[in-house]
Chain A
Amino acid sequence: MSAGTGTGTGTDTGTGTGTGAGGAAPYRSKLPPARDGFWQLLRAEFTKLRSVDRWLLTLLAGVVVTVLVSLVSAGGSEMATSDDGGGSGTEAADRVADSFRFVHRPLAGDGSVTARVTDLTLGRGTDAPWAKAGLIVKAGTEPGSPYVALMRTHEHGVRLQYGFEHDVAGGAVAGDAPVWLRLTREGDRLTGYESADGERWREVGSVSAAGLPRTARAGLFVAAPETVRVERSFGSLSIGAGPSEATGVFDNVRLEGGGSGGSSSGAGGGSGAGAWQDEAVGPPSGPAAANGPVGGTERAGGTFTVTGSGDIGPRPPAGDLTWMSLAGAQVGLIAFAALGVLFITAEYKRGMIRTTFTAGPRRGRVLVAKGVVLAAAAFAAGLAAAVVSFLVGQRALRAGGHRPPQFPEVSLADGPALRAVVGTGLLLALVALFALGLGALLRHTAAAVTLVVVPFVLPLVLGGGLPLGAVEWLFRVTPVAGFGVQSTTPHYEQVETVCLPEDGCMPQGPWTGLGVLAVWAAVVLALAAWRLRRRDA
């Protein structure tokens, strides 16, 4: 019988409630005060990263794939080098182009050479914007010997060039207007001047005469580089090189100063006519070689009509060995992208992001901490992958016949190679950051991984099938521009080369390219941070 005690059992707890609310002292923790600064967030995110074995395996897979693909692609590239290739001269001469038509006299000590270039015309079938006619002071007629040259070019105005690599722009030449040039040696300086009328002179540039002997050869020259044609449409690439020839017309030619004779050698070709020597410097190059030496010189009174072929300038290596040995990063990046995406989407998938944001309510800061930890880990792994790829890749390339002189040896101690290797680590870290941002935006693993990988893989894989202009555009503005940091092919404005982005010839400088990728990563992360703060977790 339980008459009248309907609420009896509840009474205990009922009273307990009353005292609990009012009486018992609220809880005080005995833990020392904690800290929740940025450093603590970094440690938390690092602990997350290292405590999922699968993620570490992903990173390791990224390293292994990068190295293996680099090795395979380097080993698969065979190069037949002809032994007589090195016979033409010194190694230095092989790295430069030095063939042209030279009309010269000795110049001892200080002096100057002056001429008016009245015309520069290209031979039939020649398309050479860098065809040139002008004045040159050169140590001798040996190919590869030091020189300083002042010239008018077919499409690039007046230039002062020296040391095979250097190129200083002068004024523009309007149409076929004649242009006056003067090259002066004074002590250890050579200075180039240009003028429209032979009276008012403007300095183009002044350079050191280092390497030039006291008595050098000075005179007129004409050169026209090979015509290079790259035609590419969907699926087909054709590279054509054709012979070239240019003709320059000079008058008012004066050589002043310490000639072998006197102070002033005949203006306009008077007295010392016999002293002018005319010869072709350097080996005829390219298809022209088959037709024998090109060019010659005709004199009519004071007018020299000089026809020549060839070029004076750097000869970029036939392939970018550093780029070739780092090719594995193009595939390895997929693992880095996957890790970057997973580092955030794994938290969304299971709802752990809520725990993350209750521990760190400042979400932007959490994302930054994630980014720092991820980038550091990806950089370390990427750098290791790049160093190993480079070392084994160089061995494989040498074994495959990529040897000097056509392919100068590269080592990690070379500035450009070191930049490419360290840059590859940075590149992979940026790929991971870009992926982190997309993961945070999309909150979906597969979608985000696809969206990261596609812009990288498509230009690299399909690049060969697109018109050159489209590929260059892709490599300039899309995230794949980051691969520019792997390129060590030197760029010389004054040399026309076959330049294909998928072979490592990037349309912009290495750091600019990496910067483009960095901007992409930054923009995506900024968007992600903005959305994280606004959206419910």
Chain B
Amino acid sequence: MAASEATIEVRELRKRFGPVAAVDGLSFTVVPGQVTGFVGPNGAGKSTTMRIVLGLDAPDAGSALVGGRPYAALRRPLQHVGAALDAAAVHPSRRGRDHLLWLAHSHGLPPRRVDELLEQVGLAAAGRRRVGGYSLGMRQRLGIAAALLGDPPVLLFDEPVNGLDPEGIRWIRGFLRRLAAEGRAVLVSSHLMSELQDTADHLVVIGRGRLVADMPVAEVLAAASDSRVALRTGARERAMTVLAAAGATVAATGRESLTVSGLAAERVAELLGAEAVPFSELAAHRASLEEAYMELTRGEAEFAAGPEGEDPR
């Protein structure tokens, strides 16, 4: 793939904090036109990776390129990359509008642009108030406005859904999808797969700094729901015989219910029909994204039960 303006390429990235390998040989690419979910348990290295992409932390090895160039080499960086890392990272005594204004001044953008964005993220009225009085949701919106100030083709959001109310969550999902639909590359991190279920098109799953999965959301789901079929039948013994003969593993889960693995639902129905075994219900088990994620990160969740504290900084 040609190094498009709107890509993030992470290659063999390594970063240690003392004895801990925060990022350990990580490679992935974020392409334009879709929302890429960046998932992993707390402490998996998501924030560290994002900071390296933004040139804030220096990697020990490997590279992170934005539009084919390291961040430090970007001229007018806010027009290439927008990032919302930490919603709390605003001086509480500063007014929301002033926070955007200094950022705008740093790139010679007109104050008009600031007002446009406040309008877009729904803070037009709150812009004149001090950030200290904002709810977490309002701060998230302010952070998103800051990321969009330079109208960049690449966007990074670190846990943007944190602390939002359901209405806010719905808003941000729509917002992210719209940004991707415009042809931007959008990388969104989360430690909860479920948050990304309806937002992301593609997932980069990491655990302990290593890549666990890098695939479309649909494939992740398919892999996890693969070949488990719940069957309800009055003729339990016959069904078990027929399906076992066809190579499936069959387990009885109740007096009239079975779980079949190793055969697709269509094949199960076909076999039972051919042998005239009656059944009342046949359902392909649909894994939730969360379950799929648990499956993927089993054994990688080193810090899963740890405190909220995110990566070492």
Partner of B107, one of A19, A28, A40: A40
Partner of B93, one of A16, A44, A52, A536: A52
CB–CB B284/A17 < 8 A: no
Interchain Cβ contacts within 8 Å, total number = 201
Residues of B near A41 (CB, < 8 A) are 106
- Judge if B264 is at the interface, Cβ distance under 8 Å: yes
CB–CB A1/B79 < 8 A: no
Q: Mark B115-150, 1 if CB is under 8 A from A, else 0.
A: 000000000000000000000000000000010001
Given contacts A1-B283, A5-B284, A537-B56, contact A14 B217 (CB under 8 A): yes
Partner of A11, one of B6, B75, B101, B218: B218
Report the separation of the CA atoms of residues A432 and B48 in the bound assembly, to the nearest whole angstrom. 33
- Judge if B266 is at the interface, Cβ distance under 8 Å: yes
- Judge if A352 is at the interface, Cβ distance under 8 Å: yes
**What's the nearest-Cβ distance from chain A to residue B214, in Å?**
12
Partner of B55, one of A31, A45, A358: A358
- Judge if B174 is at the interface, Cβ distance under 8 Å: no
Partner of B32, one of A26, A52, A351, A358: A26
Report the separation of the CA atoms of residues A33 and B58 in the bound assembly, to the nearest whole angstrom. 28
Residues of B near A239 (CB, < 8 A) are none
- Judge if A7 is at the interface, Cβ distance under 8 Å: yes
CB–CB B106/A14 < 8 A: no
- Judge if A21 is at the interface, Cβ distance under 8 Å: yes
CB–CB A7/B225 < 8 A: yes
CB–CB A536/B269 < 8 A: no
Given contacts A10-B217, A53-B93, A354-B86, contact A4 B264 (CB under 8 A): yes
CB–CB B88/A29 < 8 A: no
**What's the nearest-Cβ distance from chain B to residue A159, in Å?**
62
How many of chain A's residues have a CB under 8 angstroms from any CB in B?
A: 59
Residues of A near B91 (CB, < 8 A) are 52, 346-347, 350, 352
> Smallest CB-CB separation from A360: which chain B residue?
B106
Residues of B near A33 (CB, < 8 A) are 76, 79
Q: Mark B180-195, 1 if CB is under 8 A from A, else 0.
A: 1111110000000000
CB–CB B83/A358 < 8 A: yes
CB–CB A34/B90 < 8 A: no
Given contacts A2-B283, A14-B219, A351-B86, contact A35 B108 (CB under 8 A): yes
Given contacts A4-B269, A24-B32, contact A44 B103 (CB under 8 A): yes
Residues of B near A347 (CB, < 8 A) are 91
CB–CB A29/B216 < 8 A: no
- Judge if B102 is at the interface, Cβ distance under 8 Å: yes
CB–CB A40/B74 < 8 A: no
**What's the nearest-Cβ distance from chain A to residue B232, in Å?**
11
Interface centre among B106, B146, B183, B184 (most CB of A within 10 A): B106
Contact residues of A between 31 and 57, Cβ < 8 Å to B: 31, 33-37, 40-41, 43-48, 51-54
Residues of A near B217 (CB, < 8 A) are 10, 13-14, 17
Contact residues of B between 201 and 227, Cβ < 8 Å to A: 201-202, 216-219, 221-222, 225
Q: Mark B250-288, 1 if CB is under 8 A from A, else 0.
A: 000000000000001110010000000000011111100
Report the separation of the CA atoms of residues A6 and B228 in the bound assembly, to the nearest whole angstrom. 9
- Judge if B78 is at the interface, Cβ distance under 8 Å: yes
- Judge if A174 is at the interface, Cβ distance under 8 Å: no
Q: State the B residues within 8 Å of A (CB).
A: 4-6, 31-34, 51, 54-58, 71-72, 74-79, 81, 83, 85-86, 88-95, 98-99, 101-103, 105-109, 113, 146, 150-153, 180-185, 201-202, 216-219, 221-222, 225, 264-266, 269, 281-286, 313
**A–B pairs, 8, beta carbons within 8 Å:** A28-B153, A36-B75, A36-B77, A43-B106, A48-B102, A350-B89, A361-B55, A536-B51
New A-B pairs, 18, CB < 8 Å, besides A26-B184, A29-B151, A34-B108: A2-B284, A6-B265, A18-B216, A21-B32, A24-B33, A27-B184, A29-B150, A35-B108, A41-B106, A44-B103, A47-B105, A52-B94, A346-B91, A351-B85, A358-B81, A360-B106, A361-B74, A362-B72
